[in-house]
Chain A
Amino acid sequence: MPDGVATGAKSIEERDAIVIRFAGDSGDGMQVTGTQFTTESALAGNDLATLPDFPAEIRAPAGTLAGVSAFQLNFSSLPVFTPGDDLDVLVAMNPAALKTNLEDLKPGGILIVDKESFHEQNLKKADYERSPLEDGSLAARYQLFQVDVTKLTAAALKDLGLSARAVFRCRNFFCLGMTSWLYHRPIEPTEQWIREKFRKTPELVDANIRALRAGVHFSENAELFAVSYAVKPAVIAPGRYRNITGNAATALGFVAAAQKAGRPLFLGSYPITPASDVLHELSGLKQYGVYTFQAEDEIAGVGAALGAAFGGAIAITTTSGPGMNLKAETIGLALAVELPLVITDIQRAGPSTGMPTKTEQADLLMAMYGRHGESPVPILAAATPADCFTMAYEAVRIAVKYMTPVILLTDGFLANGAEPWPIPDPDTLPEVPVAFRKDPSGFFPYLRDEETLSRPWVVPGTPGLEHRIGGLEKEYLTGNVSYAPTNHEQMMRVRARKVAGIVREIPPTEVFGPPDGELLLVGWGSTFGSIRQAVGQLQSAGHRVAHVHLRHLNPFPADLEGILERYRRVLVPEINLGQLVRLLRTEYLVDAIGFNKVQGRPFKVTEIAGRCLKLLNGEEVRS
């Protein structure tokens, strides 16, 4: 504590990056607090990455360990790749939040707790025998700030005549006010957000803004924080940016592609965590020719999308792991009738219901092989929240060009995570040409394009081209039902060749690091940030380590084999028990090593860097 330093003359320290986590009960508004702090940081010009982490239960019993909801943000003046490993700041609204999150706080880190919530009942629910605030253990290890958040919020709102419950629910904005002051965040965007959010209940607008400001003023005036911290704006290429989550980016990628194609967009979907936000996002965009259909089940979601594709729409369906199982049969039909369809699997921890709100990358082999019969489907995967836009767009482009279902893989971490995104100029986006066949002369339903091997897209309503499609095997050219033995083989092979030919759409693989060397890390999906940062650190330490991040998983890029050969070791970090590594070993006979973690959470940078160092030091560790 400062001794005798005049208030207002507190010192300011500069930091490159701060990792902060807000943790509380699932009813405490931690996701709102985190999201608003993110918006404030984006407007302060920092680069950032977020990790929302919440339970599947909407309101688990208050105060329990199961009910803890958290939101983590890494904001920096330097490029940010991950939400951060260890915390500089932890805001814990109750004992349960403290207990479940404390181990991630750096020694010496800032720990802000709501003192009053550490009462006997809450301590018991969090399995504390006595208050950790009183035994001195926390104060010895961290910068502990015990704040009477509940009492101070109540005092700020006392003349508003709100119920005790309503006052209690404003506590999160008091905390946001404190942290905003501590890190020099502008609170105006949050005030604006509160006005918008609660515009139908003006008394709550007043209450929440007051709580927010009270938090700022308290931090300014009370002699609690000796220093505050400044994080300078990051050097980011000039342009128009917005903060975007992976799910929002996915939705916009689809809309942009459909607009570019000049066709309506049809989404058939069934609510499922963590995919539902794409449905929510698209349902508000009907002014862009977007149809959304909340189906009676997952099967109807994809079935309706396929029906819309038959009619000439850009057709997509969104789901998560369990829903993918249910859609498998329709995906098989889509590839047999050769209609364009994008299936988005926002992966979550499985098997079965698993952990719906936690992330995982364990659906790759299902995407690759999870259908009966020989049924090749192109697979794309987004690497970052903003990359979801690019890959959703690309999935549509490939689907219509090759008349095929395409599986797009993202995951819960990408879906809910956010980062700044430079809004692209629509004119620079690739074309998505759609030309329905209208000419009856020489027409056959399965007449193939010589280069792409795709069949013509003929929509019902076109005179003279009436024809039937279906799941029975087709005759090569006419599309009539055929059981002829050699025809079946011919069709199997042409469908496989068509998908393999998509390799021509894949740009040269970007290698981050030296073109040859000791170690190559190959990743896919949401592990991008952790791998990239770990590899960067190792390179700075003088190691010849490189990183390749795959966004096309079927087919693989044509140049991948050559790249794999140029490194002594290949390490494949994945949030599963080894799926890409299996495909790479099968495809290229390369002795790739898996590095696997399945805890429902992303890799930490230190975990990957540590594993690499062991390999570089010659330790033969196989996971």
Chain B
Amino acid sequence: MSAPGAGEPKLGKKDFVSDQDVRWCPGCGDYAILSQVQKVLPELGVPRERFVFISGIGCSSRFPYYVNTYGFHSIHGRAPAIATGLKTSRPDLSVWVVTGDGDALSIGGNHLIHILRRNLDVNILLFNNKIYGLTKGQYSPTSEVGKVTKSTPVGSIDHPFDPIALALGAEASFVARSVDVETRHLQEIVRRAHEHKGASFVEILQNCNVFNDGAFADVTEKATKADHTLVLEHGKPLVFGRDRDRGIRLRNFQPEVVRLGNGVGEADLLVHDETNPALAYLIARLGPPHFPVSSPPSPDPATRTPSTSRWPRRARRRRPTWGRSSTAATPGPSAEPRAQAPRATRPFGRCRRMLSRRRGRARFRRARRSAAA
């Protein structure tokens, strides 16, 4: 037997690199994720042959081909189903599901919520790039309202899922969010997902530099990420910002952002508790424009200007989006704000906002005036 098992010579990253050429687009966020996972796997104390990576269809789902373990590239959305059969009949294996926002949340939504509900002991890595990449750029279930793509030439009118809130709603026992380029954070999250006994759900914000470049620029660009990222640590108050001068507290059961000082101290802030699912959901629902907010907070996301000029032009046209990295068991804030209007009235409101974003408010008003005339 050539392959080392437990107790044999220590494995390294190279032992988890397969002989296949990696065929993602140059610059894709998937490379970084692959690399972090390959770094962590040898450190988990599991013999290489006991790892199984199962995927569905999509760019992210090519992942198993590149990891030198057992792998199964299956059909669109069905990886959780296949993982369920494998893990229940072979509990000795370490089973990983690699999926994307379209694969897990659209065609495979049913399987995802049920594998989480059953709390099967698998690790689910969801690469969220808010776009369909392999089919060349249609909007996905996490794409923001107003997203202009080949299939939505005047902007999407569908409200997106927040993957973390969805997972919590499905009774997930472990949820976490990380970012493709946050190498050390991502490694830590992958490790903790493995350690969790039960279904571990990890959303990884991943840049698709071809079809949705800069979707998470707020949290990946050096100039902005500190102001847009809330790093959660168990037992620590929710503090963020470049100068770590802001925090989140609860008043009248509503979260709010406060500036520290002037009589407001860390003792007034919410403290992260990984074991509290109600708090997890509260944090999952935080998001722009009000949370954790760049400076200054804008009342209307549609008019908010990007805070860095280094953004690619395409990204600037869109409503800025936020992601938050978090440690295990509790999520970062939601990436999307939910409109405050009653649900039933929202589709129309969303259409209007979508139009306003696409063309700019002024142009929208002009169009309305000319239509009225």
A residues near B (Cβ < 8 Å) are 264, 266, 268, 291, 293, 295-297, 299-301, 303-313, 315, 329-330, 333, 337, 440, 459-472, 480-481
Minimum CB–CB distance for A396 against chain B, Å:
15
Which residues of B, 49-78, contact A by the 8 Å Cβ criterion?
A: 49-50, 52, 54, 57, 64-65, 68-75, 78
Q: B110 in the interface, Cβ–Cβ < 8 Å?
A: yes
In chain B, what residue has the closest Cβ to A317? B85
Q: Which of A264, A311, A462 contacts B86 (CB 8 A)?
A: A311
Q: Are A307 and B75 in contact (CB under 8 A)?
A: no
Residues of A within 8 Å of B71, CB to CB, are 467-470
Q: Are A461 and B92 in contact (CB under 8 A)?
A: yes
Q: Are A468 and B65 in contact (CB under 8 A)?
A: yes
Q: B84 in the interface, Cβ–Cβ < 8 Å?
A: yes
Minimum CB–CB distance for A326 against chain B, Å:
11
A-B interface, 5 closest residue pairs, ranked by CB to CB distance from nearest: A470-B73, A303-B81, A307-B85, A304-B85, A468-B71
Residues of B within 8 Å of A329, CB to CB, are 75
- Within the assembled complex, what's the spacing in Å between the Cα atoms of A6 and B71? 82
Residues of B within 8 Å of A303, CB to CB, are 74-75, 78, 81-82, 84-85, 111
Residues of A within 8 Å of B90, CB to CB, are 308, 311-313, 459-461
B residues near A (Cβ < 8 Å) are 1-3, 5, 18, 20, 47-50, 52, 54, 57, 64-65, 68-75, 78, 80-90, 92-93, 110-111, 114
Residues of B within 8 Å of A465, CB to CB, are 49
- Within the assembled complex, what's the spacing in Å between the Cα atoms of A551 and B64? 40
Residues of A within 8 Å of B47, CB to CB, are 463
Q: Are A460 and B65 in contact (CB under 8 A)?
A: no
- Within the assembled complex, what's the spacing in Å between the Cα atoms of A466 and B15? 11
Minimum CB–CB distance for B319 against chain A, Å:
34
- Within the assembled complex, what's the spacing in Å between the Cα atoms of A462 and B111? 28
Residues of B within 8 Å of A469, CB to CB, are 71-73
Minimum CB–CB distance for A411 against chain B, Å:
26
Q: Which of B18, B50, B54 contacts A307 (CB 8 A)?
A: B54
Q: Are A311 and B81 in contact (CB under 8 A)?
A: no
Instruction: Using A303-B81, A463-B2, A469-B73 as known contacts, list a sample of 18 further A-B pairs with CB atoms less than 8 Å apart, ordered by residue number in A.
Output: A293-B84, A296-B114, A299-B78, A300-B110, A303-B82, A307-B89, A308-B86, A310-B82, A312-B90, A313-B89, A337-B72, A460-B70, A461-B90, A464-B1, A466-B3, A466-B48, A466-B70, A470-B71
Minimum CB–CB distance for A283 against chain B, Å:
14
Name which of A315, A469, A470 has the most chain B CB atoms within 10 A of its CB. Answer: A470
Residues of B within 8 Å of A461, CB to CB, are 49-50, 70, 90, 92-93
Minimum CB–CB distance for B9 against chain A, Å:
13
Q: Which of B49, B50, B81, B87 contacts A299 (CB 8 A)?
A: B81
Q: Are B81 and A304 in contact (CB under 8 A)?
A: yes
Residues of B within 8 Å of A291, CB to CB, are 88-89
Q: Are B78 and A466 in contact (CB under 8 A)?
A: no
Q: Are A311 and B2 in contact (CB under 8 A)?
A: no
- Within the assembled complex, what's the spacing in Å between the Cα atoms of A555 and B50? 38
Q: Are B49 and A466 in contact (CB under 8 A)?
A: yes
Residues of B within 8 Å of A315, CB to CB, are 85
- Within the assembled complex, what's the spacing in Å between the Cα atoms of A78 and B303? 88
Q: Are B85 and A464 in contact (CB under 8 A)?
A: no
Contacts A306-B82, A460-B49 known; A311 to B68 CB distance under 8 Å? no
Q: Are A480 and B93 in contact (CB under 8 A)?
A: no
Q: Are B82 and A296 in contact (CB under 8 A)?
A: no
Q: Are B74 and A468 in contact (CB under 8 A)?
A: no
Q: Are B78 and A470 in contact (CB under 8 A)?
A: no
- Within the assembled complex, what's the spacing in Å between the Cα atoms of A412 and B78? 29
Q: Are A460 and B88 in contact (CB under 8 A)?
A: no
Contacts A299-B81, A307-B84, A460-B90 known; A466 to B69 CB distance under 8 Å? yes
- Within the assembled complex, what's the spacing in Å between the Cα atoms of A602 and B18? 57
Between-chain CB contacts (< 8 Å), 26 pairs: A268-B81, A295-B114, A296-B114, A297-B110, A299-B78, A300-B80, A300-B110, A304-B82, A304-B85, A307-B82, A307-B84, A308-B85, A310-B52, A310-B72, A310-B85, A311-B93, A460-B49, A460-B52, A460-B70, A460-B93, A463-B47, A463-B49, A466-B48, A468-B65, A468-B70, A470-B65
In chain A, what residue has the closest Cβ to B118? A296
Name which of A307, A308, A310, A468 has the most chain B CB atoms within 10 A of its CB. Answer: A307
Residues of A within 8 Å of B84, CB to CB, are 293, 295, 300, 303-304, 307
Minimum CB–CB distance for B255 against chain A, Å:
34
- Within the assembled complex, what's the spacing in Å between the Cα atoms of A309 and B72? 12
Q: Which of B1, B92, B114 contacts A463 (CB 8 A)?
A: B1
Minimum CB–CB distance for A93 against chain B, Å:
43
Q: Are A305 and B49 in contact (CB under 8 A)?
A: no
Minimum CB–CB distance for B84 against chain A, Å:
5
Q: Are A308 and B89 in contact (CB under 8 A)?
A: yes
In chain B, what residue has the closest Cβ to A268? B85
In chain B, what residue has the closest Cβ to A472? B73
Q: Which of B52, B73, B80, B88 contacts A308 (CB 8 A)?
A: B88
Residues of A within 8 Å of B81, CB to CB, are 268, 295, 299-301, 303-304, 307
Q: Are A464 and B3 in contact (CB under 8 A)?
A: yes
In chain A, what residue has the closest Cβ to B23? A481
Q: Are B73 and A266 in contact (CB under 8 A)?
A: no
Name which of B48, B65, B87, B88 has the most chain A CB atoms within 10 A of its CB. Answer: B88
Residues of B within 8 Å of A330, CB to CB, are 75, 78
Residues of A within 8 Å of B110, CB to CB, are 296-297, 300
Q: Are B75 and A264 in contact (CB under 8 A)?
A: no
- Within the assembled complex, what's the spacing in Å between the Cα atoms of A467 and B114? 28
Name which of B47, B72, B73, B87 has the most chain A CB atoms within 10 A of its CB. Answer: B72
Contacts A307-B81, A311-B90 known; A471 to B68 CB distance under 8 Å? no
Residues of B within 8 Å of A462, CB to CB, are 49
In chain B, what residue has the closest Cβ to A469? B72
- Within the assembled complex, what's the spacing in Å between the Cα atoms of A293 and B47? 28
- Within the assembled complex, what's the spacing in Å between the Cα atoms of A291 and B85? 9
Minimum CB–CB distance for A227 against chain B, Å:
59
Residues of A within 8 Å of B87, CB to CB, are 307
Q: Are A470 and B93 in contact (CB under 8 A)?
A: no
In chain A, what residue has the closest Cβ to B111? A300
Residues of B within 8 Å of A481, CB to CB, are 20, 65
Q: Are B73 and A307 in contact (CB under 8 A)?
A: no
Minimum CB–CB distance for B95 against chain A, Å:
9
Residues of B within 8 Å of A304, CB to CB, are 81-82, 84-85, 88
Minimum CB–CB distance for A478 against chain B, Å:
10
Q: Are B86 and A310 in contact (CB under 8 A)?
A: yes
Q: Which of B5, B18, B86 contacts A468 (CB 8 A)?
A: B18
Residues of A within 8 Å of B54, CB to CB, are 307
Residues of A within 8 Å of B52, CB to CB, are 310, 460
Name which of B72, B78, B85 has the most chain A CB atoms within 10 A of its CB. Answer: B85
- Within the assembled complex, what's the spacing in Å between the Cα atoms of A460 and B18? 16
Minimum CB–CB distance for A303 against chain B, Å:
3
- Within the assembled complex, what's the spacing in Å between the Cα atoms of A543 and B11? 77
Minimum CB–CB distance for A295 against chain B, Å:
7
In chain A, what residue has the closest Cβ to B54? A307
In chain B, what residue has the closest Cβ to A440? B2
Name which of B1, B57, B68, B83 has the most chain A CB atoms within 10 A of its CB. Answer: B1
Residues of B within 8 Å of A313, CB to CB, are 85, 89-90
In chain B, what residue has the closest Cβ to A291? B89
Contacts A299-B78, A299-B81 known; A468 to B72 CB distance under 8 Å? yes
- Within the assembled complex, what's the spacing in Å between the Cα atoms of A32 and B57? 49
Q: Are B2 and A460 in contact (CB under 8 A)?
A: no
Residues of A within 8 Å of B49, CB to CB, are 460-466
